[in-house]
């Protein structure tokens, strides 16, 4: 690990100021991704801005027909929260299936979303539910937020403060996890929302994406059979030691069927 300066601001305003006036600063939330990256010397920020002293970024509240989850809320808190379990049970289930207990008790929703790992679970929920990422500057629709592999629409000095999830009529998530890390080899989030049906896939490509053909089929008949014969092309899918692109394409259909069945309850 290279040397860096450590800061623990006591307000969002101070955190943003530190982000703006340091040479190469990085926010640290749960540190689950950033610290291993720094230990391997793959990242060398000049300054670490720790959000751990900002209780206003922690918590879950219902606002109209939405759930607003603070950026520093851990996966474990989302998984066990009674409001999430009652309003968007698929989201609680997704959070409870991330990594292991240590990762779930340190890792945060803001860190996961900002990191935009192609195999992370939350991006599927954000895109599948039509969520919005709230920052210190604006609200960004999930459709516009995830740009590419580890790339988001965030500006360098922009900080995620919360994520707003519209409460769906029903939703389900199914993932085929990497047996070691639990990251998604393929994960599919399906939601029937006031705006229509949305199907979002993580793990299969460089970034999370929607499957329009499945959305249209489910809009006319919301059942696992509707997606059972829909195949997605394997051409631009990830291929690695865990799964070939063809296998990932196959898993998209299987996980979509299971996600719809889960949504049906």
Ligand X SMILES: Cc1cc2nc3c(=O)[nH]c(=O)nc-3n(C[C@H](O)[C@H](O)[C@H](O)COP(=O)(O)OP(=O)(O)OC[C@H]3O[C@@H](n4cnc5c(N)ncnc54)[C@H](O)[C@@H]3O)c2cc1C
Residue nearer to ligand X on the CB measure, 73 or 226: 73
DSSP string, 181-200: T--EEEEEEEEEETTEEEEE
Residue-wise burial string across 130-145, b where 16 or more C-beta atoms lie within 10 A, e elsewhere: bbbbbbeeeebebeeb
Give the residue, chosen from 7, 182, 242, 250, that forms a contact with ligand X under the rule CB under 6 A. 182
Site string for ligand X, 114-153 (x = CB under 6 A): xx----xxx-------------------------------
Give the residue, chosen from 18, 28, 191, 262, that forms a contact with ligand X under the rule CB under 6 A. 28
Residue nearer to ligand X on the CB measure, 115 or 253: 115
Residue nearer to ligand X on the CB measure, 58 or 254: 58
Give the residue, chosen from 67, 71, 163, 259, that forms a contact with ligand X under the rule CB under 6 A. 71
Question: What are the φ and ψ backbone dihedral angles of 199, each rounded to 5 degrees?
Answer: -125, 120
Is residue 185 near ligand X by the rule CB under 6 A?
A: no
What are the percentages of helix, strand and coil residues in the chain, rounded to 5?
40, 25, 35
Question: What are the φ and ψ backbone dihedral angles of 101, each rounded to 5 degrees?
Answer: -55, -40
- Going by C-alpha positions, the residue among 171, 185, 166 that lies closest to residue 241 is 185
Total of chain residues touching ligand X, rule CB under 6 A: 30
- Going by C-alpha positions, the residue among 40, 213, 30, 52 that lies closest to residue 122 is 30
Site string for ligand X, 29-68 (x = CB under 6 A): xxxxxx----------------x-----------------
| Min separation Cβ 183 and ligand X, Å | 4
Distances in whole angstroms, Cα of residue 217 to Cα of each of 196, 214, 248: 11, 5, 21
Q: How far apart are CA 13 and CA 182, in angstroms?
A: 35
Residue, CB closest to ligand X: 111
Task: Quickly count: other Cβ atoms within 10 Å of residue 111's Cβ.
Answer: 25
Phi-psi map region of 56: left, alpha, beta (phi>0 left; psi -120 to 50 alpha): alpha
Choices 85-93, 112-120, 216-224, 247-255; region in contact with ligand X by CB under 6 A: 112-120
Give the residue, chosen from 66, 73, 81, 108, that forms a contact with ligand X under the rule CB under 6 A. 108
Give the residue, chosen from 18, 91, 98, 208, that forms a contact with ligand X under the rule CB under 6 A. 98
| Min separation Cβ 159 and ligand X, Å | 4
Residue nearer to ligand X on the CB measure, 183 or 189: 183
Quick check: 216 and 222 in contact, CB under 8 A? no
Binding site for ligand X (CB under 6 A): 26-34, 51, 71, 98-99, 103, 106-108, 110-112, 114-115, 120-122, 159-160, 181-183
């Amino acid at each position: 690990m290279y040397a860096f300066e450590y800061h623990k601001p006591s307000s969002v305003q101070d955190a943003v100021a530190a982000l703006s006036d340091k040479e190469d600063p990085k926010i640290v939330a749960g540190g689950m991704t950033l610290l291993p990256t720094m230990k391997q010397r793959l990242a060398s920020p000049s300054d670490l801005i720790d959000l751990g002293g900002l209780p206003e970024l922690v918590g879950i509240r219902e606002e109209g027909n939405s759930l607003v989850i603070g950026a520093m809320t851990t996966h474990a808190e989302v998984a066990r929260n009674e409001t999430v379990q009652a309003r968007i049970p698929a989201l609680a289930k997704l959070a409870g299936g991330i990594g292991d207990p240590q990762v779930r008790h340190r890792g945060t929703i803001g860190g996961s979303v900002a990191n935009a790992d192609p195999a992370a679970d939350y991006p599927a929920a954000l895109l599948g539910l039509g969520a919005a990422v709230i920052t210190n500057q604006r609200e960004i629709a999930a459709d516009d937020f995830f740009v590419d592999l580890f790339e988001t629409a965030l500006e360098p000095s922009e900080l995620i403060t919360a994520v707003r999830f519209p409460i769906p009529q029903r939703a389900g998530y199914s993932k085929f996890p990497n047996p070691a890390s639990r990251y998604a080899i393929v994960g599919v989030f399906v939601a029937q929302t006031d705006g229509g049906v949305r199907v979002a896939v993580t793990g299969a490509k460089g970034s999370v994406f929607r499957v329009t053909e499945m959305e249209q089929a489910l809009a006319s008949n919301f059942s696992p059979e509707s997606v059972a014969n829909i195949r997605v092309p394997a051409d631009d899918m990830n291929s690695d030691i865990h799964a070939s692109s063809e296998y990932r394409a196959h898993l998209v259909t299987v996980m979509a069927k299971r996600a719809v069945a889960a949504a049906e309850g």
